Structure 1
């Protein structure tokens, strides 16, 4: 054994896996690197975050294990439980050596001894151990003998029938890949486990079989020793409690193995008919059929039935069995009465109260009082686990949980959309806690009934309910807090944001008086009154735009910030301008990207000419809000003039393209949060681009503190949802954000009819001989220089080479920077000319996007000369006035045309519906960014189908990454991030595979 280093501080996560012999093993991962021991690279690389064996729970020391774990070229991927950000790069399986210990059994107490977090693999192993213990406790085991080497081996094996077989199948289905991560050595088999030998790659079903068999065998032997059972006989009976190996004559051994296997096979088939229990609750007006006996008032009926094991719908009451009316069961058994009595006799060991029924000659049912019914319900799960059928009242299966209710009273009544005074989350409201069941608050009489109940099975409001005594006690203790006052924001956080563990019970009913009650119930938008557009608006709003404007006005009247997150092109601009016309109590500040500053100014002049608009931009800008309704500025200017803007009491502060503040620590985000405003509004088509932290940043701007702190939001929502796909946390987040966020997409039924369709076409372009030679030269240079030392140096080389390869795919002149002509030298340019030629020939216009501004400058004059049309080029260096003129001229042109745009400068905010063809000459490799650019044409006002053309070079890195994006779909941006930096984490071999040039790339 290699001497292990001391344990490093930091977060530790306990992992588990099953070895080839069926043993359970533990290892741990740290959140901080561990010093690699000397000689660690002999077998496989040492896991850089593996905790030394000295830091693991008590167990049997073993040689370091070699585990196959998900990795990138930079190392093993951290498990989600560590809490580190996900690592980018191409994922692959790779072997790592870790220190590990073997444990005979795992339970929750053992896992709790470890001061770190427990992985799903450990939780699965704990569940497996619990299943094995349940089988042994219920006697679901049989002895067996098998030949394993020169001497026979006696062992105990599980019998899996009925519910046990289903649970076994569930365990197999849910086995985490990490539990079978150990890399088997040459010739590894499962022959040392107490089941028939299995060789090969250790598939999950075999690994589960050996693990369960080993656990059952060890548990039975332990239980027998603890009970003092020590068979005096030698041979196989003695081997069932002592050493597994024994000696036996060959002739007798074959006979013994055959008899035990036949016994096991018969037991494994299970009974064809099983005893079933059906519990019926008392009914005040139960119909009585002829011959039936009226039940005493308040009595519960526990019926005995026989049920076909493979056809549960075949049920025969015990009364019919005793009357020889069991024709439906004759297919399965000829002795139903014996099966009935035998089943009751065995069930009595689990539920002793059944002994009263066995005193009758022909037991058919039992009548129970409420306490007796609760006793049976308490044993129902145990009977079901033992293989009996159990039919319970429907309300028991879907019983409502006990929760807290919160009654609040706002100082203001529910207001119409227009009112004199605004309210807000800082308002003080009265509150009173209560208990709720099924979403209904319990009255004083209900609580009195609960206090008098002898068992937690009570009848409330005409229906039976079960109340957990511990939860009831915790809820009653919490009620002692009484009522009081809190802010409306605190009431929202308590009911919407706090997870159940921070309150004794979840809040299941929030009601009261005033606007806050509607907010808590998520019904605020149901109070919405649709408003007529103001007289100063010179546009006709669509129905969904009227609702959006009315919603903004309603939130404004309540003093609540709002985020209008409509898809791009649905008219967020016109909805906001309508709101500004509707209510003007002071100057409003609107902050937007530079690329759409002119668009806002032009749209305000066109649709809201009554608004007095001032633009704050440029070197000679002055801030004067006298007589001004709306001040337009950019994010960059807002940062530069932050102190001056913070010195004005704004009526509203509005952020357009609010994803610009998605980084809450960024300069723009910090600046805009300090601007005082009566109300705040965010406009964005992409409230979440990559991470939920972006949503928090936007919504925290519109309602500061409404989603708690960034740290709390990350712990309660971002981590559970993004890493663990926690549906409960996702539901809580939807509930918490719903009142403040209005999201409509182009696919919504009320909107889809207003838009044409958008069609995506991927064009696989070949490369010319010149392109191929340049591509190979760049790739060869990269591979030659990758051996140079230095991580920073390596990253720079990879990114530079990737950029060059993309330039080669576009056109040789872009890489060579020699000003050489474009025609005939690029497969992409040839295909682009074909697309533009077809579009112009059909009387349609096209937008051409490229991320390379230099290529845009070459492409625009080339297309203008080729097709004889004016081709403007918009890029980051284009002045604002020139941008506006370009857009206006293109939109109002009578003839079809072509517009070349830099992706960064023209990818957001612009309205270019005159075009219905969009061509992406090169790839940005961020689907959200490319979709935003395509939506310059796919917007309200577009009346033709939009064709999005993506040009991809065949057989190159472009095609491979494009395939990755297509495979990942909507999650692609989380795989590759928002740029190409993830490529730098790949190993040299991975880069060679990704960048390699396939033979089909050459077309000339």
Structure 2
């Protein structure tokens, strides 16, 4: 039986899957719903499906506090329920794709948030509508009773309409008010309106009294909150057309939300855009002119106007509006809504910024916050009501700059040419140009491409393209396990770059202590996060670029390595991550504090700002998304523009180190092999070679491999550490993983490791798995989105199975016959696969695994001589010296950083 995952504190979280499905998951963390009954109800509803979960949020959880992600989905569900109430027995109209996109933009950070788009939201709306209808049918109740049973606030309302119209012929009372109701439909299916007075005739008689009271109930509820409405109800004027002054019309406008909440439909004059009279807007323009300096500290111009429907007003018109009392004012032949206090507050706020800009200039970061509506760190944050009377737009220079940031494919910038020994795909060329463009502006960039899309080669191409006559080294900071990958990729794709890996496995101790000579002749320095704290010269060197790989390593702003990274001096800063940084606000702030210090304010100011977003009703994170969008470039393998350009299968080498325990065992085994090899011959020699090679393979897997009853602790294997890193990224993307090993005894330890990382059980299969059970396992992996990984023995799972649900394949231990490995890979890469497959081949540096890989890769004469017809390397025929060279341990290369 496979081991169960380790226990963690759990909380409920909404998760969007790569297919746009909404799920409720138990994730590690503190409980986010205090009421166990509410949590159980939500969980039970989602167990039936996403539509039922949403219906529950909209019908049963309309009040109370929920975590941000569930509160967002409740707001979507409430929007549907309100539309259903207004529609009566008609289907609730679905929002347009544009409206869906706007709703999606307001979503808070959530797992899988990168998959939430207009299409996904539209699909979830359909599921919600279907679930609503199913639940209503199951209840056996009519719509009124069904809604009332679920929540008393959702009654069958929407039949009574309050209509406001202009009456230009009456100068003294230029508005008309009429209450109507909808008794039925026309022959063409349109709503048929009738004056509310007609209801007294239609519902005449004692038998219809209950229906009459029910129809007028929304009017009665609204009159309890609106004095003016109560007056016309009590006097009976509600049943007749009324002539209104601008002040009368303004009272209706101010109470629209209250009237609609009570269940009334409010209809405004057709000439009013968005069912409101025009409002004067304080419109500020920032960045119209090209700044004299570049970089995050550049100063931009700022100009303030007051406009009406996009047209600037004269000084006299502005003065008349500011002097006007609250209400409706006729200006330029149209009715204009005026709120004196809000208009003046907005005008004063931006006028103050304009005065400061004229004397000191406005910083780039402040300009971006104003554009996004993200008032981080503002002395007096503008209220949402005040922001409706003002907005900031980008001037010509800033608009062009931001457009280039958002459309990297249109940027004109230098590429590396023949210096790069690879052909960049179009999306990679766009990435290189984008990185260079932000570097020229002095702005930090976050390249957040999906795993396997070539972030490394894009950075190397940038370094080649940005080289000039003066040698200024750049710095790569990466996890220790990735140093060898960076060195190998640089050697392969950018051989003209001189690379210095600042690690004992690659450089001598005296060079690391006094690297002046190495810095003078190298273009690129690669170092681990841990080494930053040991080598003081790193912080003292002015770097051309500082690139942090796996940028989530600096998510904790208090960690020593985070502070060390942020203290580095560089002209350009780049963060690489395959994990969407928008999934966690704390991580986001720390990464951006490295990329563009000050853009998101101080940590404390950002926390206050984030809380303000969460406390809105409904919560909206759109200002934050707009603020960070220009600095993040994220392409996913599911993007149509990317997937059409990718190969179907991409193979990458995942270089691993040995733990100290592995290295000691490996060296002991090699020593014993050497002492016995000299006197062995014939079958004895062949058996000795094969058993030794098998033992070395086991040691490369784990120090405990081959020891009966061992517990396979993660810290005793470099491969386990590397698999944990790879799997964590795959888990964050909600993708599926196949792991192949040739050792059956490795399956359970690998399963336990992956179950802990994915926080849910996966599947496993070996030669011991009953043949009849294999089909069920394959079917479950293919169809169940909750089965995230499959650990298989190479021989049992290497042929005959179709596992196209996986988009990642890990060869944990290498089979020295490439054809066998390829056959296993093709379990995922075959007909029916709709995603690109990324193949991770694990290789321990400084060991036999690296040398066999090089042997296969190089296709040297020696390899050709050793290859059999099946492609497997025959190692038993090598002479003693060749064998010892093959198995020897390069300790510096093999051991990872302590």
TM-score, normalization by structure 2: 0.51
SS at match of 1:556: helix
- Residue 631 of structure 1 aligns with which residue? 525
Out of 633, 636, 649, the position equivalent to 1:742 is 633
Give per-residue Cα distances to partners, 1:459-497, cap 9 Å, x unaligned: 567654434343224224435535223322233344443
Counterpart Cα distance in 1 of 2:488 and 2:31: 44
Aligned-pair distance for 1:570?
Answer: 0.6
Whole-Å separation in 2 of the counterparts to 1:678 and 1:352: 67
1:218-247 Cα offsets, whole Å, 9 max, x none, are: xxxxxxxxxxxxxxxxxxxxxxxxxxxxxx
**C-alpha separation in 2, matches of 1:840 and 1:734:** 46
Does residue 280 of structure 1 match 2:170?
no
Distance 1:672 1:393, change over 3 A: same
Deviation for aligned residue 1:603? 2.7
Indicate yes or no: 2:495 matched with 1:558.
Answer: no
- 1:742: Cα distance to partner? 0.6
Number of the residue aligned with 2:301: 430
Question: What is the alpha-carbon distance in structure 1 between the residues aligned to residue 9 and residue 823 of structure 2?
Answer: 54
For 1:444 and 1:757, locate their aligned partners in 2 and report how far apart those are by CA, in whole Å. Answer: 63
Displacement of 1:751: 0.9
The CA distance in 1 between the partners of 2:252 and 2:152, in whole Å, is 31
1:873-919 Cα distance to aligned partner (Å, 9 max, x none): 9989x446877656555656797789xxxxxxxxxxxxxxxxxxxxx
CA distance in 2, matches of 1:453, 1:758: 68
1:639: how far off? Answer: 2.7
Q: Which residue of 322, 344, 362 maps to 1:451?
A: 322
CA drift of 1:503 comes to 2.3
Q: Quick check: 1:498 aligned with 2:375?
A: yes
Alignment-derived partner of residue 66 in structure 1: none
Conserved? CA contact 1:429–1:488, under 8 Å: yes
Q: Deviations over 1:85-120 (max 9, x none)?
A: 98559999879xxxxxxxxxxxxxxxxxxxxxxx99
* CA gap 1:875/1:711 in 2 versus in 1, 3 angstroms: farther
Cross-structure match for 1:466: 337
2:753 alignment partner in structure 1: none
The alignment status of 1:830 with 2:767, answered yes or no, reads: yes
Please say if 1:752 is aligned against 2:643.
yes
Give, in whole Å, the separation in 1 of the partners of 2:845 and 2:217. 92
Q: Mark the runs of 5 or more structure 2 residues left unpaired by the alignment.
A: 1-5, 14-26, 38-60, 67-84, 90-144, 651-701, 713-741, 749-764, 769-790, 826-839, 860-866, 874-898
How many correspondences in the alignment?
583
Match of 1:391 among 261, 267, 273: 267
Q: Distance in 2 between matches of 1:747 and 1:564?
A: 17
- Whole-angstrom distance in 2 between the partners of 1:657 and 1:551: 19
Q: Which structure 2 residues correspond to residues 662-677 of structure 1 after superposition, within 5 A?
A: 662-677=555-570
Aligned to 2:355: 483
Q: Does 1:608 align with 2:469?
A: no
- Following the alignment from structure 1 to structure 2, what is the Cα–Cα distance between the partners of residues 707 and 590? 24
Shift of 1:749: 1.1
Residue 713 (structure 1) aligns with:
606
- Give yes or no for contact 1:302–1:365 (8 Å, CA) kept in 2: yes
Structure whose CA Rg is larger: 1
Is the partner of 1:539 in helix, strand or coil?
coil
Q: Contact conserved, 1:410 with 1:428, CA < 8 A, in 2?
A: no
**In 1: Cα distance, 2:604 partner to 2:598 partner:** 12
**Kept after mapping to 1: 8 A contact 2:743/2:793:** no
Distance 1:329 1:889, change over 3 A: farther
Aligned to 1:908: none
Q: Structure 1's 403 and 90: CA in aligned 2 closer, same or farther, altered over 3 A? A: closer
- The answer on 1:652 being equivalent to 2:542 is no
What is the distance in 2 between the residues matched to 1:89 and 1:343?
Answer: 39
* Distance in 2 (alpha carbons) for counterparts of 1:343 and 1:829: 66
Does the 8 Å contact 2:283/2:304 carry over to 1?
yes
2:593 to 676, 679, 700: 700
> 1:664 and 1:343 mapped to 2: Cα distance?
53
Aligned residue for 2:627, secondary structure, equals: helix
The reply to whether residue 538 of structure 1 matches residue 421 of structure 2 is yes
CA contact 2:166–2:269 (8 Å) conserved in 1: yes
Larger RCO (alpha carbons 8 Å, 6+ apart): 2
1:302 to 162, 177, 182: 177
Q: Contact (CA 8 Å) 1:595, 1:880: kept in 2 or not?
A: no
* 1:426 CA displacement: 1.1
- Where does residue 983 of structure 1 map in the other structure? none
Offset of residue 669 of structure 1? 1.7
CA RMSD of aligned residues (A): 6.4
- Report the equivalent of 1:815: 710
Q: How does 1:892-907 map to 2 (within 5 A)?
A: none
1:691 aligns with 2:556: no
- Alignment check: 8 A CA contact 2:284 2:392 kept: yes
SS at match of 1:614: strand
Structure 1's 730 and 277: CA in aligned 2 closer, same or farther, altered over 3 A? closer
Please report how far the alpha carbon of residue 646 of structure 1 lies from its aligned counterpart in structure 2 after TM superposition. Answer: 1.8
Q: Which runs of 5+ in 1 are unaligned?
A: 1-71, 80-84, 96-118, 125-161, 167-204, 214-268, 284-293, 414-420, 760-806, 851-855, 899-1004
Q: Note the C-alpha offset of 1:615.
A: 2.9
- Give runs of aligned pairs for residues 565-644 of structure 1, distance below 5 A: 565-585=448-468, 586-618=472-504, 619-622=509-512, 623=515, 624=517, 625-641=519-535, 643-644=536-537
TM-score, length-scaled by structure 1: 0.46
Does the aligned pair in 2 maintain the 1:812–1:825 contact within 8 Å? no
The residue that corresponds to 1:248 in the other structure is none
Does structure 1 conserve the Cα–Cα contact (< 8 Å) formed by 2:278 and 2:335?
A: no
